[in-house]
Structure 1
Amino acid sequence: MRGYGRAGSAVTVINAFATGRGAALGIDLWTEARVKLRGEGISGSITVRGRDYRDFRLVNAVVEVVRRSTGEEFGVEFEISSEIPVGKGLKSSSAAANALLLALYDALGVEIGPLQAVKLGVEAAREAGVTITGAFDDASASLLGGLCITDNRRDELLMRADVDPEPVVLLIPGETLMTSHLSGVDFSPIAPYIEKAFEMALRGEWRKALVINGLLYASFLGHSTGPIGTALRLGAVAGLSGKGPAFFALTDEPERLAQEWERFGKVEITSLR
C-alpha cells in the first residue's frame, strides 16, 4: 500500500513563544512525502533542497502517532523531499509532519479531516521535541494556507482567512537556529507587546502586527533588524519568520527589494498562498 502527502511552508505574523497564541501565513514552498507500508520497521530518506537530511526523530514520532490514532500496526518505507530549508524559521518541521501524516493516512485508506491532521502532526512534533509551543499556528498555515490565527495552548484555530497570492521576498541567511536551542528561554519580557500585536492581527491589522512582531523578536533574539528597516524604507511590509534567522517581506516590487537584501544573505522570491 502506497501513499502520498504534500504540505507547504509558512511565515510568521505572530510568534507564539511569548504568549502561547500565534499567527502564520502560508507561502508557496512545499514538502512532499511518499510512503510504502510493510510489515515492520521504519526506513527511508529525507532530502532537503537536494541534500540528505539524517534526523528521523519527527518521522518516528509521526509514525507512532498514526499507529495510535488508527489502531493499525505497520512498518513503512518513506521518501520525503522538501524545498523548505531547515533551521531557518520557515516551518520545515510542520510541513514535514503534515506531509508524512497525510501520506500514511492515504496509504492506509483512512480519511482524515485537515484540522485533525494538523492536530496529530502537532502531537508528533511535540513528542519529537522539535517545537516549543506545539506550533499549531505554523502547522495550520502549512496545511490550510492563508492566514491562520491560533491559540497554541489549546490547539484551537481562532480564525482563518484567504489571502491574495502576492509576492513574498525571503531572506535566508547561512546560519541555522534550531527551535530546540531556545528551550528554557524566558520570553515574558516581550509578552505584553506581543499580546498587543496579536490583538491587532485578530482585528485584521496583520500587516502591522507582523512588523511589530518581527522587530520585537529580532531584537530580543539578537538578530539584526537591518533587513526590516531596509524593507520599510522601500515601502514593503517585513518581519522575522519564527525564531529566524529568515526574514520575509510583502512587496509589489520584489526584485527591487531582493537586490537590496542580497547584502544580508541569500534571497528568494515566492508568493503567499
Structure 2
Amino acid sequence: MRCLKMCNSAVTVVNAFATGKGGAVGIDLRVSAKVKLIDEGVGGEIRVRRERFEDFSLVKAVVETIKDKFGLDFGVKVRIDSEIPVGKGLKSSSAVANALTGAILGELKIELPDIEVVKLGVEAAKRAGVTLTGAFDDACASYFGDLCLTDNRKLELLKREEVEKKSVVLLIPEETVLTSSLKNKNFKVLAPYVEEAFRLALMGEWEKALVLNGLVYGSFLGYDLEPVAKALEAGAIAGLSGKGPAMFAITEEPEKVADVWEDHGEVLITTLR
C-alpha cells in the first residue's frame, strides 16, 4: 500500500433532503484510505471501528467513476480504516469516498483542485446509492472541515466559515438507518421550515439552524427527541445528524451532556474541525 489519504466525519447543520440545499460542519472522527494499483478488480480490506466490513460497493463505485472520468483501466487493492459508525448519519460514506478518491488520484499522479476531488467522490456516492441528494454539503465538510453550506443540485459551495474547535458529543443508538430506506419519504413538505434553517445558517446563525433542523427532521422521521431536549437543558446546542439516528451536541461541558445521554446509547466525545 503506497498512497495514503485521510478525511473526516461531519455532522448536519441543515439536511438537504427537503430543498437540495444543505450544510454540515466537520468533526474529528477519521477515515484513512491506502491504495495500491493492480491490473484489474477491487480487493483489500475495510475495517470500521476495528471490525471487518464486507461491503465494497462504494469502493467499486469510486474506481468506476475515476476510470470513466479519465478513460483509464485499472484495479485497486485498498486498506480502509474508519472511526465513523456506518448507517448512523455521521457521513461515513462521504468520508470514505473523499479519502479513497484522493488516494487513487494520488497513486495515478492525477492532480485536481480539491473541489473537483470532492465532486468525483459525490458522483461515486450517487453511483453506489448511498446518498439521496449527492451529499455535496457532507462531502465538503468532510474534506475541508469547518462549516460548509452548499447547493447540492448545482454542486456549488455557497459558503465556508471557520468554526471554533468546540467539543462535540455524539449519541449513537444501536439502530441503523440506511439511506435507501428513505426513498419514498416526501421530504418536500418540510421545505418551508428547512429553508428558514438554511437562511439562518447563511446569516451566520448556524447553531440556531442546526437545532431547528434537528427538531423538524427528527419529528418527521419519528425519532424520540428526548436526548435533544436533555442536551438543550444542559446548555448545549443539539441536533440530529443527517438521516439519523445519531444525535450530537456542541458544548463547553461535554461530560455534562455525556452524563444525561448515557442511558440512550453509545456516547463519544470529539471536537469540531
**How many angstroms does 1:263 deviate by?**
1.2
Q: Following superposition of structure 1 onto structure 2, how do residues 99-178 of structure 1 map, counting pairs within 5 Å?
A: 99-178=99-178
Contact map agreement 1:3 1:105 (CA 8 A) in 2:
no
Per-residue deviation, residues 131-188 of structure 1 (Å, max 9, x unmatched): 0000000000000100000001111100001111110000000110011110121012
User: Secondary structure at 1:44's aligned position in 2?
Assistant: strand
Instruction: Provide the rounded CA distance (Å) in 1 between the counterparts of 2:268 and 2:180.
Output: 26
**How many angstroms does 1:222 deviate by?**
0.6
**How many angstroms does 1:271 deviate by?**
0.2
**How many angstroms does 1:47 deviate by?**
0.4
Corresponding residue of 1:226 = 226
Aligned CA RMSD, in angstroms, stands at 0.9
**How many angstroms does 1:2 deviate by?**
3.0
Contact map agreement 1:217 1:240 (CA 8 A) in 2:
yes
Instruction: Provide the rounded CA distance (Å) in 2 between the counterparts of 1:36 and 1:2.
Output: 6
**How many angstroms does 1:5 deviate by?**
1.2
**How many angstroms does 1:71 deviate by?**
2.6
Contact map agreement 1:20 1:133 (CA 8 A) in 2:
yes
User: Secondary structure at 2:132's aligned position in 1?
Assistant: coil
Corresponding residue of 2:265 = 265
User: Secondary structure at 1:143's aligned position in 2?
Assistant: helix
Corresponding residue of 1:27 = 27
Letter of the structure 1 residue corresponding to residue 4 of structure 2? Y
Instruction: Provide the rounded CA distance (Å) in 1 between the counterparts of 2:63 and 2:125.
Output: 11
Letter of the structure 1 residue corresponding to residue 134 of structure 2? G
Instruction: Provide the rounded CA distance (Å) in 2 between the counterparts of 1:187 and 1:133.
Output: 12
**How many angstroms does 1:265 deviate by?**
0.8
Corresponding residue of 2:9 = 9
Per-residue deviation, residues 53-86 of structure 1 (Å, max 9, x unmatched): 1111111010011112233211111111100000
Instruction: Provide the rounded CA distance (Å) in 2 between the counterparts of 1:271 and 1:222.
Output: 28
Per-residue deviation, residues 233-255 of structure 1 (Å, max 9, x unmatched): 11110000001000000111000
Moved over 6 A (4+): none
Q: Following superposition of structure 1 onto structure 2, how do residues 207-226 of structure 1 map, counting pairs within 5 Å?
A: 207-226=207-226
Per-residue deviation, residues 7-31 of structure 1 (Å, max 9, x unmatched): 1000000000011100000000010
Letter of the structure 1 residue corresponding to residue 81 of structure 2? S
* Structure 2: runs of 5+ lacking an equivalent: none
Instruction: Provide the rounded CA distance (Å) in 2 between the counterparts of 1:181 and 1:112.
Output: 34
Correspondence 1:45 to 2:71: no
**How many angstroms does 1:44 deviate by?**
1.2
Correspondence 1:196 to 2:196: yes
User: Secondary structure at 1:169's aligned position in 2?
Assistant: strand
More deviation in 103-112 or 21-30?
A: 103-112
